[in-house]
Amino acid sequence: MKVGQGDFQRLFQQYKNVVTKTDASVYGPEIAKANRKDIFLGVGMVALATGIFGFLTSLAYYSLVSGLSGFSNFGGMGSFTLFGGSAIGSAFGSLITGIIGTFITFFVGAYVTFWVAKQFFKGQGTDFWTHAYLLSLSYAPLRTLGAVLTIIPIVGGLAALLLRIYQYYHTGLAIQAYHRTDTMNGQLSVWIPVIAGFFVSVVLGIIAAAIFVTTVLR
């Protein structure tokens, strides 16, 4: 897969054209342009941003907590160790998880919305890769910007959340255009999996917390 500067210039123009519009018609002309290279370039851009800024944010967090708690030399392991754990190790963990996790979550999410649109809302789109390509047109720029902003405490996280909500809205527009659903069904194809995933995450979090507390109290 050959990648040149022209590919990124072209993609950035497409991203700008898509995310500055709020109507499903913007995706119509993009259907014929669908290709896998642009999907992987876009998702790869998000993966790098997520990994790199996750790395930097993790280091900043450890540095802040270390300074406030006075545990910078806990265990005699130096300023990059906190409570017996390595800040560098944690940061590299964030880097790797951010890169790999981005690809996993994008393609799993794309498949779930593709399936929901077809099974529940009679979506007419037949090609998963075209569906994924259309989703990537808003996912890549908005998630990349969100990843960069998360390094800013509190405000950056709130801004990233708003960008994610807007990206979900655009995902609904892309589904509406490709699967030829109405506006409501296009949005429901996105928000049903998102809400279901949120509740599953909450339940798993509660279970994990309960196991942790039980283990500590023994």
pLDDT digits (tens, 9 = 90+) for 5-24: 788 899 999 999 999 999 99
- How far is 24 from 21, CA to CA, in rounded Å? 8
pTM over 0.95: no
User: In this predicted structure, what is the pLDDT of residue 75?
Assistant: 41
> Domain spans of the chain?
24-217
148 vs 88, higher pLDDT: 148
